[in-house]
Structure 1
Amino acid sequence: MKAIVKNIDTGSDVAFDAYHPADEECFGRWLTVLVGPENEEGGHLYQVLACTPEWIQREFLHTGAVWGRHMLIVSRYDQGRIRRELDHYVEGCTGDNFWEIAQKVARIGAWEFEDYQS
């Protein structure tokens, strides 16, 4: 089975395709990424923080430390690059079923079903 990125949302009234930060060299933006089976409707949601090293330094300099889980760190804002990185990672995740794939995608994004127990 194969999964794909079906949608990327900025969590605001500005669509991902229309979003542009004020400073392309220093930005951080949480993205909601919908990932689902290639030939089926729907999918699961993941949160990924797309940001630059400069933004991390500016935001966390006063604390001296920051965890890096669920982050895509890019040198500058490049919408196409962000999309390609997400697509590349997700398309590389394979499994016998979508649940197996979803757990692999959860390594890079905060999954809506993280820690779910049946």
Structure 2
Amino acid sequence: MKALLKELRSLEIEDDLNSYWPESPESFGSWIRAMIGPDNEEGAEYFDMLICTPKWLQGELVKNDVLLGKGMIIMDEYDYDKIRAFIEKQITACHADNWSSIAEKLSRISFWEYEDYQFYPSR
């Protein structure tokens, strides 16, 4: 089974990411949501990531002293094409026999909407 990036959007920027350009591309940080699902089925699940630059991170460290790094994609400056290509490359590397295994692998580089969700059998 293979996964496919079906949509990519920001959780903070209202503009379409493909046409968006920040005022300061070398000091950029925003949460994005990748909608990823099986390539041969409708639907997708949410995987959230923080796209940021080292300069933006430095500013956040001044405010917060310590930051966690899970789900971060760090790049020199904002570039939608590079972001999309990187995410698609990561998705291509996550193949398995079933969707659950793929999603679990993708959750290593992002925050999956069902991460830590426990399914309980009905009684």
- Same fold per superposition (TM over 0.5): yes
Residue 8 in structure 1 maps to residue 8 in structure 2: yes
Report the counterpart of residue 80 of structure 2 in structure 1: 79
Residue 23 in structure 1 maps to residue 24 in structure 2: yes
**Structure 1 regions of 5+ residues with no counterpart?**
none
Which of 1 and 2 has greater Rg? 2
Count residues with an aligned counterpart. Answer: 118
Instruction: For 1:63 and 1:28, locate their aligned partners in 2 and report how far apart those are by CA, in whole Å.
Output: 15
Secondary structure at the aligned position of 1:4 is classed as strand
Residue 42 in structure 1 maps to residue 43 in structure 2: yes
Secondary structure at the aligned position of 2:18 is classed as helix
Instruction: For 1:21 and 1:40, locate their aligned partners in 2 and report how far apart those are by CA, in whole Å.
Output: 34
Q: Offset at 1:65?
A: 2.0
How high is the sequence identity, in percent, across the aligned residues? Answer: 37
Secondary structure at the aligned position of 1:31 is classed as strand
1:66-96 C-alpha deviation (Å, 9 max, x unpaired): 1111100011111111001000001110111
Secondary structure at the aligned position of 2:6 is classed as strand
Instruction: For 1:62 and 1:40, locate their aligned partners in 2 and report how far apart those are by CA, in whole Å.
Output: 43
Higher alpha-carbon deviation: 7-16 or 88-97? 7-16
Note the aligned Cα RMSD (angstroms). 1.1
**Structure 2 regions of 5+ residues with no counterpart?**
none
Report the counterpart of residue 116 of structure 2 in structure 1: 115
Q: Offset at 1:36?
A: 0.6
